[in-house]
Amino acid sequence: MVMKIYTPATLGKSLTKFEKNGFVLTETKHKPNLSLCRHGHQRASIACVLEGYYIENIDSRNYECNPHSLLIKPAGEYHSNKYDRVGAHCLILEVEPKRLSDFYSLPDVFRRTRQIQKGKYFAIINRIRQELRISDSATEIAIEGLFLELLGIVARQTRKPFVSGDPYWLNDVIEFIHAYSAQPISLSAVSTAVGFHPSHISRVFRKKYNCSIGTYIRQIRLENAAEQLIDTKKSIAEIAISVGFYDQCHFSNLFKLYTGKTPSKYRSERN
């Protein structure tokens, strides 16, 4: 089955829309008791619930989208939606792929799906809505400035707190590894992402975490696999591939080495 790619307005009623300089803002309403099958969107996005409630399912995880919550997703993240008896009124803020490079200095805002339930961003959302309604010659620059201000708040809120004495770029390394743990990650790719020499990154990382970057990635993959063994009905082979292992045999051997149990036994004991 081929998954479809939509824009937000395709799947909800568009109340207001603004599109300029790589930014797309759409105020939408979705009907009560609406269910949307698995699909994706062509742009990275931030969805803010203004009124109502819905559940978004991504990779077997449910995100409860309440009023004033933000759901940040990379482009093409497949998901399904289920709206409750009052539906939902949302503001969807999207970024065209060509503009994502402008945000390189921010800590991977759109690199992976994440949710923020509370924050100081809602005043900015209201100001964006006001600008959408004013729509004069200053609207374009006003909305771009507000959008960048919102991204700054989201970036700070999703970044893990620094430990005193840690290099400022170490959290960027961790964010990058977690975002791409299911894919082949080279040290040169990490180096390019954070802007430091590979040998320096390796030395500082080992000193901080008492392991190599490769070992850390392997541990993340095993932890993600353990969660899927409990929370999903995927086959062991499917889980192995989804978290970044080449095959089930390799995954099973490593899983038993780290946990003392086979994936099958681990799953049966916790279900």
DSSP string, 52-73: EEEEEEETTEEEEE-TT-EEEE
pLDDT digits (tens, 9 = 90+) for 11-40: 678 888 888 878 888 899 999 999 988 888
The total number of structural domains that make up the chain: 2
**236 and 263 Cβ atoms separated by less than 8 Å:** yes
CA 195 remoteness from chain centre: 22
Cα separation, 53 vs 225, whole angstroms? 30
Q: How does residue 42 score in pLDDT terms, banded at 50, 70 and 90?
A: confident
Q: Which of 15-24, 44-53, 72-81, 153-162 has the highest mean pLDDT?
A: 44-53
Residue 63, domain extent: 5-158
pLDDT digits (tens, 9 = 90+) for 138-177: 888 888 888 888 887 777 665 544 455 678 788 888 888 8
Cα separation, 240 vs 162, whole angstroms? 32
Both 81 and 188 in one domain: the answer is no
Both 185 and 244 in one domain: the answer is yes
Q: How does residue 81 score in pLDDT terms, banded at 50, 70 and 90?
A: very high
Burial class (CB in 10 A: 0-12, 13-18, 19+), 169: middle
Q: How does residue 212 score in pLDDT terms, banded at 50, 70 and 90?
A: confident
Q: How does residue 88 score in pLDDT terms, banded at 50, 70 and 90?
A: very high
Both 235 and 147 in one domain: the answer is no
Both 146 and 169 in one domain: the answer is no
Question: Where residue 32 sits, what CATH number does that domain have?
Answer: 2.60.120.280
**Residues, the chain, total?**
271
Closest to 113 in 3D by CA, of 77, 154, 81: 77
Phi-psi region of 93 (alpha: psi -120 to 50; beta: other; left: phi over 0): beta
Question: Where residue 174 sits, what CATH number does that domain have?
Answer: 1.10.10.60
114-109-35-66 Cα dihedral, nearest 10 degrees: 60
Residue 140 CB-half CA count within 13 A: 5
pLDDT digits (tens, 9 = 90+) for 118-128: 666 888 888 88
**Tokens of residue 123, six digits:** 């005043």
Closest to 114 in 3D by CA, of 47, 176, 23, 209: 47
Report phi then psi at 212, rounded to 5. Answer: -80, 165
